[in-house]
Homo-oligomer: A and B are copies of this chain.
Amino acid sequence: MTAEDVATPATRWLDAQQMAAWLPLLRVVQLLPQALDRQLRREAGIGHAYYQVLATLSAQPERTLSMGELARMTATSPSRLSHAVAAMEERGWVARRPCPTNRRIQYATLTDEGLGLLERIAPGHVAEVRRVVFDGLTDEQVEQLRSLALAILAPLDD
């Protein structure tokens, strides 16, 4: 497993500079979602995936979105969203209803209960985001972070 064990096609390993960035990045993408999940679960009993559904719907006109668009906006698979919304519907936070003009489409709407929950838990969540991400960064670093995140996002969206 050294750089000299060259097969076809040649295996290009990470150089020292890349490795020095990769290992911390790996920890971040591991620990950051974990931290968000834990804070939300402790104070609200839901994971971050559910929070994103609530928050995304709350920002829409009529607090409504089709399942497909909701999946795209929250970067989750249709299946995962379907399960999640089913669970949230059972708890009364979201309602589903078919589209009258295209019967393949289902609309998901944030209920008043769902909005109430979101309003209760949002401040604590935002505080956690500030604590783990933004409190330790300068304005210039925040700008770099935005630019880097967008650069990494490009190949991820295929």
Q: Is A132 an interface residue (CB 8 A)?
A: yes
Closest to A20 in B: B146
Chain A window 18-52, contacts with chain B (Cβ cutoff 8 Å), 1 for yes, 0 for no: 10111011111111110100000000000000001
Which of A20, A137, A141, A156 has its CB near the most chain B CB atoms (within 10 A)? A156
**Given known contacts A11-B126, A29-B32, A75-B31, is B142 in contact with A144 (CB within 8 Å)?**
no
Q: B29, A129: Cβ atoms under 8 Å?
A: no
Find chain B residues with CB under 8 A from A32 CB. Answer: 29, 152, 156
Closest to A11 in B: B123
Q: Which of B12, B122, B136, B155 contacts A155 (CB 8 A)?
A: B136
Chain A window 129-158, contacts with chain B (Cβ cutoff 8 Å), 1 for yes, 0 for no: 111111111010111111111111111110
Q: B136, A24: Cβ atoms under 8 Å?
A: no
Chain A residues bordering chain B, tally (CB within 8 A):
59
Instruction: Give the complex CA separation of A112 and B31 in angstroms.
Output: 31
Find chain B residues with CB under 8 A from A155 CB. Answer: 131-132, 135-136
Which A residues form the contact surface with B (CB < 8 A)?
1, 7, 11-14, 17-18, 20-22, 24-33, 35, 52, 58, 75-76, 118-119, 122-123, 126-127, 129-137, 139, 141-157
- 7 new A-B contacts at CB < 8 Å, known A21-B142, A27-B75: A14-B130, A17-B139, A24-B153, A31-B156, A35-B156, A136-B152, A136-B154
